[in-house]
């Protein structure tokens, strides 16, 4: 059985997505959901976590699909089940996906996969009496695993449903989606050569990674255990086998730099490096 690989992860990052770290400026109507996500440290520091929302009565256009791969575009009409809208298709059964209730952390081999999200809902209705996706969410049964079958590979995503509009009332729904990254494929990045500087209201942090990261690191500034702010990606260059990253934190108050006692560098789901100045 194939599992998610670096190719799948890079494809994830290249797609046009909305990341939790950027979401406040784009989806203020979802402030409560966002706040809940940001208050969870695991989610806050996870750049694989994506929030997708389809509004009620949203038009049948690409901007309203969750385009995961070339062959999997998640969509729902003004009512009814989730469908695959990729390349002109519009069906809830697709050769490119399977769905299961549960989480990847339970073990892929322990999950029961069905041809569609709709089939999972129907199975749970028949066996446990749940009525519809919204009924599942209201009972706290809102976690699913999406398996994408493409190019002779199987890639897995954890889907945590946040909302679902019942009936013929617009077909809105939302979820958090996270790419399953098996720990054994993540290298040791070995952070080194960390420097800092301040000039023209910019606090710059530069560091070197031994191995190429599958996604850009997240860099956060701390005073002890107190979170000060997140530095923004500025640039990266490759020098032989070394990957040199620069991040910038903007401030008009140079005195605040004195409070920066440490930096945490988060890379995917595996590594957190803490650096004290």
In tens, the pLDDT along 116-155 reads 999 999 999 899 888 788 888 888 899 999 999 988 888 8
CATH classification of the domain holding 265? 2.60.40.10
Q: 154 lies in a domain?
A: yes
Looking at the fold, whether 12 and 146 belong to one and the same domain comes out as yes
Give the Cα separation of 128 and 214 in Å (integer).
40
Looking at the fold, whether 151 and 205 belong to one and the same domain comes out as no
Query: Which range among 25-29, 194-198, 202-206, 212-216 shows the weakest confidence by mean pLDDT?
Result: 25-29
Edge to edge, what strands does the sheet with 153-164 contain?
49-54, 173-179, 153-164, 143-150, 97-101
Q: 1 lies in a domain?
A: no
Give the Cα separation of 179 and 195 in Å (integer).
32
Give the Cα separation of 146 and 157 in Å (integer).
5
Using an 8 Å Cβ cutoff, are 252 and 266 in contact? no
pLDDT digits (tens, 9 = 90+) for 97-127: 999 999 998 999 999 999 999 999 999 989 9
Looking at the fold, whether 16 and 104 belong to one and the same domain comes out as yes
Strand residues in the chain grouped as ranges (E) = 49-54, 66-69, 72-75, 83-84, 97-101, 143-150, 153-164, 173-179, 191-199, 202-209, 218-223, 226-239, 242-250, 262-267, 271-276
CA-wise closest residue to 132 among 162, 161, 166: 166
Residue 174 is predicted with a pLDDT of 94
pLDDT greater than 90 at residue 196: no
DSSP letter for 268, please.
T
Looking at the fold, whether 180 and 239 belong to one and the same domain comes out as no
Looking at the fold, whether 220 and 239 belong to one and the same domain comes out as yes
Looking at the fold, whether 26 and 55 belong to one and the same domain comes out as yes
**Residue after which a domain boundary falls, among 145, 162, 184:** 184
Looking at the fold, whether 38 and 111 belong to one and the same domain comes out as yes
Looking at the fold, whether 30 and 126 belong to one and the same domain comes out as yes
3-state helix, strand, coil in the chain (%, to 5): 25, 40, 35
- Please give the tally of structural domains in the chain: 2
Looking at the fold, whether 68 and 180 belong to one and the same domain comes out as yes
**Residue after which a domain boundary falls, among 184, 202, 237:** 184
What is the domain range of residue 147? Answer: 6-184
Looking at the fold, whether 172 and 229 belong to one and the same domain comes out as no
**Residue after which a domain boundary falls, among 148, 165, 184:** 184
Tell me the pTM.
0.60
pLDDT greater than 90 at residue 161: yes
Looking at the fold, whether 196 and 164 belong to one and the same domain comes out as no
Looking at the fold, whether 54 and 156 belong to one and the same domain comes out as yes
Query: Which range among 16-25, 43-52, 212-221 shows the weakest confidence by mean pLDDT?
Result: 16-25
Which of the pair, 14 or 169, is modelled with greater confidence? 169
């Amino acid at each position: 059985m194939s599992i998610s690989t670096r190719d799948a992860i890079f494809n994830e990052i290249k797609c046009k997505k909305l990341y939790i770290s950027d979401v406040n400026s784009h989806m203020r109507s979802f402030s409560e959901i966002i706040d809940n996500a940001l208050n969870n440290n695991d989610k806050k520091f996870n750049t694989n976590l994506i929030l997708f929302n389809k509004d009620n009565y949203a038009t049948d256009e690409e901007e309203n699909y969750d385009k995961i791969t070339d062959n999997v575009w998640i969509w729902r009409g003004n009512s009814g089940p989730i469908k695959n809208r990729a390349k002109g298709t519009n069906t809830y059964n697709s050769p490119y996906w399977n769905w299961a209730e549960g989480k990847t952390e339970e073990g892929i081999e322990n999950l029961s996969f069905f041809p569609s999200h709709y089939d999972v809902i129907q199975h749970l209705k028949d066996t446990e009496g749940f009525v519809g996706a919204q009924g599942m969410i209201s009972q706290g049964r809102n976690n699913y695993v999406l398996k994408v079958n493409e190019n002779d590979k199987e890639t897995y995503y954890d889907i945590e449903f946040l909302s679902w509009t019942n009936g013929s009332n617009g077909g809105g729904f939302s979820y958090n989606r996270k790419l399953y990254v098996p720990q054994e494929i993540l290298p040791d990045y070995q952070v080194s050569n960390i420097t800092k500087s301040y000039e023209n209201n910019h606090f710059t942090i530069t560091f070197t990674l031994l191995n190429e990261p599958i996604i850009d690191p997240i860099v956060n500034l701390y005073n002890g255990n107190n979170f000060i702010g997140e530095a923004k990606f500025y640039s990266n260059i490759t020098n032989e086998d070394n990957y040199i990253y620069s991040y910038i934190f903007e401030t008009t108050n140079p005195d605040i730099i004195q409070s920066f006692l440490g930096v945490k560098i988060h890379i995917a789901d595996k590594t957190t490096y803490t650096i004290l100045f």
